[in-house]
Amino acid sequence: MSIRWENIKPLKGSQNNAFEELVCQLAYQECKSLGKFTRISAPDGGIEAMCELPDGSVCGWQAKYFLSSFSSSQWQQIEDSVKESLKSYPKLTKYYVCVATDRANANVSGKKSFLTKWGECIQKWKDFAQSQGREIEFEFWGSFELSDLLSKPENAGKKFFWFNESELSEKWFEQYNQQAINNLGVRYTPEINVDLPIAMQLEALARTQTFKEHLRDEFHKLLIEINEQYTFLYRYEELGNHFEPVYELLIDKLNLSTIDDLEKTVDIHLINQEINELIKYLEDFYKII
C-alpha cells in the first residue's frame, strides 16, 4: 500500500498539523492498552504525544512533516526537539521520530546516506543523554512504518479521513455482505441461494482458500481421469507420443506451488489449443480403429 503523504488533508489550514495529528492517532491506537496516553499541544516540550507506562517511564512521539531526506536545518530541528524533550520529561526513555519519508542508503562517493546519518545522529543524541545521566532509545517511524500501521483494519477510518482512501478489509466485506442480506430480509434464503459462475472468478481473483481448494480438486480429478486412460493410450505408441507432450504441458503450466504468485500468468490459450488438437487427433484416431 502506497500512501501519498503530499495529499494529506490539511488540519487548521496546515498539512504539518495534519501529519502530527495522524501520527498521534496511530501512536494512541498502538499504545493505549500499555499505559496512560496524552496528546500534547504547543508548546509541547519536544514531543507531540506521550505514553506513561506502568513502571513510570515515558515514551514520546515527535512528528515532522518531512517528505524527503533531511536538510541540515531539518536535522537540527529534530536535535533541538530531542534535547528539549530530555529537559521537559525527566522519565522519557524512548523517543519516536516520525516523518513522511524512508531512510535511503545510497552509496554515493563523498556523501553520507540518510541511513548512515541517522545512525550517527542517534548515537550523538544518546551520548548527550548519557552526559545528563539519562538513557534513551530511539525508534524511526517513516513512510513504511506509518503505511504499515495505516493498513491495519482498525485504522481504515483514519486512512479514509486523511487521504480520502478506503481500506476494503475482509471485515468490511463481511459487514457489507451481512448488510445486504439484512436488507433482503425474507427474500433471501441460504438454502435456495444460487451461486453464479462469476463468484468463482472473483474467488480466483482474490486467491481465496475456496478457489485454491476448488482448483486443487478439479486438477486432482483431471489427473485421475488421465491415469485411468494410460493403459489404453500406451497400447498404441503413436497415440502415446501425441498425448505425452500435452500431459507434460498441463503439469508444467498448472503448477499449484505458484498459485499465490499474482504476477505468475498461465497461457490458457496455449493449453486450450494443445488440448483441442489432441481431441481432434483422438477423434480421427477412433475413426480409424
Per residue in 91-105, pLDDT (tens digit) is 999 999 999 999 988
Q: What is the pLDDT of residue 188?
A: 61
Nearest partner of 33 among 9, 13, 16, 54, judged by Cα = 54
Q: What is the pLDDT of residue 237?
A: 67
By the 8 A CB rule, do 140 and 103 touch? yes
Alpha-carbon separation of residue 256 from 213, 252, 261, 267, 270 (angstroms): 11, 10, 10, 15, 18
Quote the pTM value: 0.58
**Domain residue ranges of the chain, discontinuous segments joined by +:** 5-163, 194-288
42-48 long-range contacts, Cβ below 8 Å, gap at least 24? Answer: 45/84, 45/85, 45/87, 45/88, 45/89, 46/80, 46/81, 46/82, 46/83, 46/84, 46/85, 46/86, 46/87, 46/88, 46/89, 47/81, 47/85, 47/88, 47/89, 47/92, 47/95, 48/20, 48/23, 48/24
pLDDT at position 171, please?
Answer: 61
Of 32, 28, 6, whose CA–CA distance to 19 is shortest? Answer: 6
* pLDDT confidence of residue 261: 66
Give residue-wise pLDDT tens across range 182-209.
766 666 666 555 666 677 777 777 778 8
* pLDDT given at position 115: 93
Of 198, 115, 189, 100, give the one whose Cα is nearest residue 149: 100
Q: Is residue 248 exposed (0-12), middle (13-18) or buried (19+ Cβ within 10 Å)?
A: exposed
Q: Give the residues of the chain that fall short of pLDDT 70.
A: 1, 165-173, 175-176, 183-197, 223, 226-240, 254-264, 286, 288-289
Report which secondary-structure segment, H or E, holds 268. helix 268-288
**Fold held by 5-163:** Restriction Endonuclease (3.40.91)
Q: What is the pLDDT of residue 222?
A: 72
What was the pLDDT predicted at 229? 63
Q: Which residues pair with 98 in a beta bridge?
A: 63, 141
Q: Which pLDDT does position 234 carry in this prediction?
A: 56
**Is 258 exposed, middle or buried (CB count within 10 Å of its CB: 0-12, 13-18, 19+)?**
exposed
**What pLDDT, on a 0 to 100 scale, did the predictor assign at position 278?**
78
- 100: which DSSP letter? S
